Amino acid sequence: MKVGVMNKLRRRKQSNENPADDTKPNGGNLLVNDRNKYKSMWIRTHSTLWMIGAFVLIIYMGHLYICAMVMLIQILMEKELFNLLRKVREDRDLPGFRLLNWHFFFTAMLFVYGRFLSQRLVNTVTSDKVLYRLVSILIKYHMVICYFLYIAGFVWFILSLKKKMYKYQFGQYAWTHMILTVVFTQSSFTVANIFEGMFWFLLPASLIVINDIAAYLFGFFFGKTPLIKLSPKKTWEGFIGASVTTIISAFLLANVMGRFEWLTCPRTDLSTGWLHCDPGPLFKPEYYHLPGYIANWIPWKEIPIMPVQWHALCLGLFASIIAPFGGFFASGFKRAFKIKDFGDSIPGHGGITDRMDCQMVMAVFAYIYHQSFVKSQSLSVESILDQILMNLTFEEQLDLYRKLGEILQQKRFGQH
């Protein structure tokens, strides 16, 4: 009896980390020492090519299809994470409890995307008087609707509490809110980036993919020095090689992507038509004269550089140095729960969450950087009209029109 108690105490004192992993040298886990590395590389390459092909097709189809893709990815990520702490007998002990998690998820989705897309929804239905009034009412009471949906979920949770399951249920409640805060909210910034111009979604996402592939290849062929214990297969050679590759790629890719209106024009509504706009000075090349000692060796005397390429360097720097810590966070999380991957939906890569860890960090940075350093903060005619159409009733808009006409008439006669 005493021996059994001592064994239980030892098990309770053990950390969630696997001690063997901490004492074992990382060198045994490096890709250069992996005997099956070529097989795993082939599987990973094959699935990567399929993902890139599907991604390019969706980019061509347009903004709404990309948003649908992002939402689908979010749903699959939430499913993987909801199942992570789920008990095998939950459906029997707590029937319907899993629906509560999805209730909170779709409430959060309605709130976040309602805030991001409200102006564009108004612009889409302006020509239809009935739809316009309906949408105006929904936007006006959007926050109230979302709040009472959340309160309904809160009451549902309290009423579902079951004796001997309190700890598990409150743990699931906290876990759900952590997922919504850390995973869903961050990934939702991707949609905001899409409508600012597909460039601000595609470039950051591409840089993360490039960094991931370059880190894998440099580590595969040259990796010798372990980088971090949380992710034993990561090496300094892979990290440095990927950083240089990503920063150079950012500068060059920005020049290529900046040439296409489909990628640079912001989408102001929810239509699917082709876009035409003035790209603005950010995407117009400026010519820089090369010094004589360089121009003597190459056939060009000057080179065109778009101003956006300098911004792209900042995105590349973040994607190569800071964004990988999203992956390290996910690695530590998986070690804490003693799992290899969040799922197995992508051969050679793991689950959807395993591919999106760095993308979430990058999406938030790209949005904040664009709003802070790129987007003009001054008022424009379009932004003022959006506010008028969204916040004023039809009668108030007519009244504004009459008063504005009177003011302009007074100014016109005052000048004479």
Sequence-distant (≥ 6) Cβ neighbours of residue 210 within 8 angstroms? 242, 245, 246, 249, 319
Asked whether the predicted pLDDT for residue 313 surpasses 90, the reply is: yes
pLDDT confidence bin for 289, thresholds 50/70/90: confident
Comparing 114-128, 211-225, 235-249, the range with the smallest average pLDDT is 114-128
Asked whether the predicted pLDDT for residue 22 surpasses 70, the reply is: no
Q: What is the mean pLDDT of the chain?
A: 84
| Mean pLDDT value across residues 318-339 | 90
Distance of CA 64 to the CA centre of its chain: 16
Q: Are 174 and 157 in contact (CB under 8 A)?
A: no
Asked whether the predicted pLDDT for residue 18 surpasses 50, the reply is: no
Q: Which pLDDT value is given to residue 8?
A: 44
As a 3-state breakdown, the chain gives helix, strand, coil percent values, each rounded to 5, of: 75, 5, 20
In this predicted model, what pLDDT tens digit does every residue of 109-142 receive, in sequence order? 999 999 888 888 888 887 787 888 888 889 989 9
Q: Which pLDDT value is given to residue 143?
A: 96
Q: Where are the alpha helices (DSSP H) in 286-393?
A: 292-295, 307-321, 324-336, 352-369, 381-391
| Mean pLDDT value across residues 35-57 | 78
Enclosing H/E stretch for 116? helix 97-125
In this predicted model, what pLDDT tens digit does every residue of 169-204 receive, in sequence order? 999 999 999 999 888 888 889 999 999 999 999 999
Q: Which tokens is 155 given?
A: 């009451």
Give the side-chain half-sphere CA count within 13 A for 25: 5
pLDDT confidence bin for 9, thresholds 50/70/90: very low
More confident residue, 127 or 220: 220
Which pairs count as long-range contacts for 92-100, CB under 8 Å and 24+ apart, including other chains? 93/162, 93/165, 94/160, 94/162, 94/165, 94/169, 96/160, 97/160, 97/169, 97/172, 100/153, 100/156, 100/157, 100/160, 100/176
**Phi then psi for 322, rounded to 5 degrees?**
-95, -45
More confident residue, 300 or 380: 300
Q: Which pLDDT value is given to residue 20?
A: 40
> Residue 348: helix, strand or coil by DSSP?
coil
Q: Which pLDDT value is given to residue 27?
A: 45
Residue 243 and residue 134: Cα distance in Å, rounded?
Answer: 50
Q: How far apart are the first and last CA of the chain?
A: 105
Q: Which pLDDT value is given to residue 231?
A: 82
pLDDT confidence bin for 415, thresholds 50/70/90: low
Comparing 10-24, 162-176, 232-246, 366-380, the range with the smallest average pLDDT is 10-24
Percent of the chain with pLDDT over 70: 88
Asked whether the predicted pLDDT for residue 396 surpasses 80, the reply is: yes
Q: Which pLDDT value is given to residue 29?
A: 55
**Phi then psi for 92, rounded to 5 degrees?**
-80, -40
Residue 239 and residue 234: Cα distance in Å, rounded?
Answer: 7
> Residue 343: helix, strand or coil by DSSP?
coil
Q: Which pLDDT value is given to residue 319?
A: 97
Q: Which pLDDT value is given to residue 133?
A: 85
Q: Which pLDDT value is given to residue 174?
A: 94
Number of other residues whose CB lies within 10 A of the CB of residue 221: 13
Q: Which tokens is 53 given?
A: 């092909």
Asked whether the predicted pLDDT for residue 26 surpasses 50, the reply is: no
Q: Where are the alpha helices (DSSP H) in 258-290?
A: 261-264
Q: Are 350 and 341 in contact (CB under 8 A)?
A: yes
Percent of the chain with pLDDT over 90: 44
- Neighbouring-strand partners of residue 303: 288
Domain ranges of the chain: 1-62+198-371, 63-196, 379-416
Q: For 226, which DSSP code? A: E
